[in-house]
Chains A and B, each alone.
Chain A
């Protein structure tokens, strides 16, 4: 089932990063199949989908790392191919899932690399980088060697690096974009929320955020809109309340879910449907469920 909730493609829009009719084929398989999607300045768009649904391919195409076989990506109204690489780098930053960096730079030096598109690091850049480390709550690690940091700390160093890359507003408030590829993958739950809260905070009127996520509930809680991919196609896109419907989630992930309302925020709270046969034995719960069949060994406990 394909929901017709796609936004109309507006080729003239100058405040979006938009993909129109993207097709990418590798080895006879369609990685992206006529996919159209746009991120507007000011919003957080979460991209969801099962493994292999095309999330990373989409992100790599939006960041000009891959060029589509068919279709086009436009940033602020101009095709990506028409942007000089350096000008593009001043307008959008990309957080990778993993970086192969294995050299003992200090955390601050890694963050400073985000200023490469702007020329040599100045003392203002050092100041920006120190503040960016503060943004991701690791200001105290500024002088630590990157190679001695944990996976989660490294991920946050790179987050600070992409933040300094689009740190300042552009002339005439031209929109900037932040593309995050599974930014929460190696983070503990507190830092997962901190990272999404940061994305929320940064999505101002001239900055759009696209974030690839696995956790449906993080998407429901922090995104303005969610897009669900399946087999390289856009299955649905819209506000979390609309797009995170049980039938769509079941189709995208093959997982039956129940949607509750978040007790505090009211946003959707997605709970996988229980399969009793794969649950551990919980005597107390079972007792509640069927009070009539209490067995003697429960009393012993």
Chain B
């Protein structure tokens, strides 16, 4: 009883201080919020790790969490108990690469989405919606279908990296194209942005369709995977190439967070704040296209991750890119793994293409956003 009264008394000066915080820099709400923000990043990290463990444990062969932890411990060189070799094989050759690939692709797509939204100064930009994923996919499909013939010089020159590099180039070209179309005098028109996305998606779709028509039976199977998206083909080499390419934007874009914040004010305004806009914009475009291209190269078109994840984070943490970008990487990885978990367990033993699942969940989300945005600007 006594302690509770004391506790109440101790609390009072604290709330009093908060209400007068504006005059005391040390206790200003902004600074208090910053601590909360650090905590929320830690929470997102914990979420990602738990989802990753679940993703390794759950599947046609259920593996106890303890064995998952033991296998991972053994990988890290820790002296841990032996694990059933069959389970160990499933973890090491199937579940772990797939989980890592899901984390990388989800993180890459979400960070690229957040960066593009900053670049376009619009929360509705998404690599899938504005045609970047489709452009990357078209380039990748070209390499698959024409790799033996017209583009043979490319596949010979670039070897195993020809697919991700082609996807990156396709993504880069489409991002630049959309940016050119939708930006005038440092202002971005959302209408033009989305309309350009429709046109580019249609064009890239037609190109992919034409290549599908030319493809042989074996290539057709691969192509289906591209158009619907899947983590099903995850192998260690794929994880390696994705990690190598996606790591660059994952590490570099958060360093550009302040630039992206300034760009939200407008291009001229960012320039007035001392940002080298002409140099930074192409850099951001290239980094975002690299993330999308690499993600598309290993998993096909998985839409809406880049739209939904940054939006959820902005609702919870605000639009500051210093928090948004690392948060998007963590939450993007977690959500894509969750979606993959659903995709491969909902209709066992078959597997849903994950791209269909994210479209089913993300489509209505996007429509709701669009309605709200329309109401606000009407």
Contacts and interface: CB of A to CB of B under 8 A. Distances in A.
A49 interface: no
A94 B273 CA distance: 9
A253 interface: no
B7 to A, nearest CB: 27
A99 B274 contact: no
Contacts of B102: none
A165 B273 contact: yes
Contact of A108 (B30, B123, B261): B30
A114 interface: yes
Nearest to A133: B22
Contacts of A165: 273
Interface residues of A, number: 42
A109 B318 contact: yes
Contact of B25 (A85, A88, A101, A127): A127
B26 interface: yes
Interface string B25-64: 1101111000000000000000000000000000000000
Interface stretch (A59-67, A182-190, A227-235, A279-287): A59-67
A55 to B, nearest CB: 15
A100 interface: yes
A86 B318 contact: no
B319 A104 contact: yes
Contact of A116 (B23, B258, B266, B314): B258
B264 A103 contact: yes
Contacts of A126: 25, 28, 30-31
Given A96-B268, A105-B320, A139-B22, A116 B28 contact: no
Interface in B259-280: 261-262, 264-266, 268-269, 271-276
A15 interface: no
B187 interface: yes
A90 interface: yes
Nearest to A130: B22
Contact of A143 (B29, B258, B273): B29
For the residues of A in contact with B, the DSSP-based class is: helix
Interface string A69-105: 0000000000000001111111011101001111111
B31 A123 contact: yes
A105 to B, nearest CB: 6
B271 A85 contact: yes
Nearest to B271: A65
B273 A106 contact: no
A37 to B, nearest CB: 19
B188 interface: yes
B121 interface: yes
Given A103-B123, A116-B258, A126-B30, A93 B272 contact: yes
B268 A116 contact: no
Contacts of A109: 30, 318, 320
Given A104-B314, A126-B28, A126-B30, A99 B269 contact: yes
Interface in A129-171: 130, 139, 142-143, 147, 165
Nearest to A85: B274
Contact of A65 (B121, B272, B314, B319): B272
A300 interface: no
B266 A101 contact: yes
Contacts of B276: 85
Contacts of A88: 274
B235 interface: no
Nearest to A120: B258
- Which range contains the number of B residues in contact with the other chain? 20 to 34
Contact of A104 (B262, B274, B318): B318
Name the residue in A109, A110, A112 with the highest tally of chain B Cβ atoms < 10 Å from its Cβ.
A109
Given A89-B273, A100-B187, A113 B28 contact: no
Nearest to A109: B320
A130 B26 CA distance: 13
A118 B361 CA distance: 43
A124 to B, nearest CB: 6
B28 A100 contact: no
A191 B142 CA distance: 61
B281 interface: no
Interface in B151-191: 186-188
Given A102-B122, A103-B123, A105-B320, A64 B271 contact: yes
A87 B258 CA distance: 17
A117 interface: yes
A89 B320 CA distance: 21
A256 B47 CA distance: 71
B269 A96 contact: yes
Contacts of B262: 113, 116
A124 B187 contact: no
Interface in B119-133: 121-123
B269 to A, nearest CB: 6
B319 A103 contact: yes
Contacts of B25: 123-124, 126-127, 130
A126 B318 CA distance: 17
A178 to B, nearest CB: 11
A94 B272 contact: yes
A60 B268 CA distance: 9
B82 to A, nearest CB: 49
23 contacts: A65-B268, A84-B274, A85-B275, A86-B274, A88-B274, A92-B272, A99-B265, A102-B122, A103-B121, A103-B319, A104-B314, A105-B319, A108-B30, A109-B30, A110-B265, A113-B262, A114-B273, A116-B262, A123-B25, A124-B25, A130-B25, A130-B28, A165-B273
Given A96-B269, A102-B123, A123-B31, 16 more contacts: A65-B272, A85-B274, A88-B274, A89-B272, A89-B273, A94-B272, A103-B121, A103-B123, A104-B318, A105-B264, A106-B30, A109-B30, A117-B273, A124-B25, A142-B22, A147-B376
Question: Nearest 5 A-B pairs (CB), nearest first?
Answer: A89-B274, A86-B274, A127-B25, A103-B319, A117-B274
Interface of B: 22-23, 25-26, 28-31, 121-123, 186-188, 258, 261-262, 264-266, 268-269, 271-276, 314, 318-320, 376
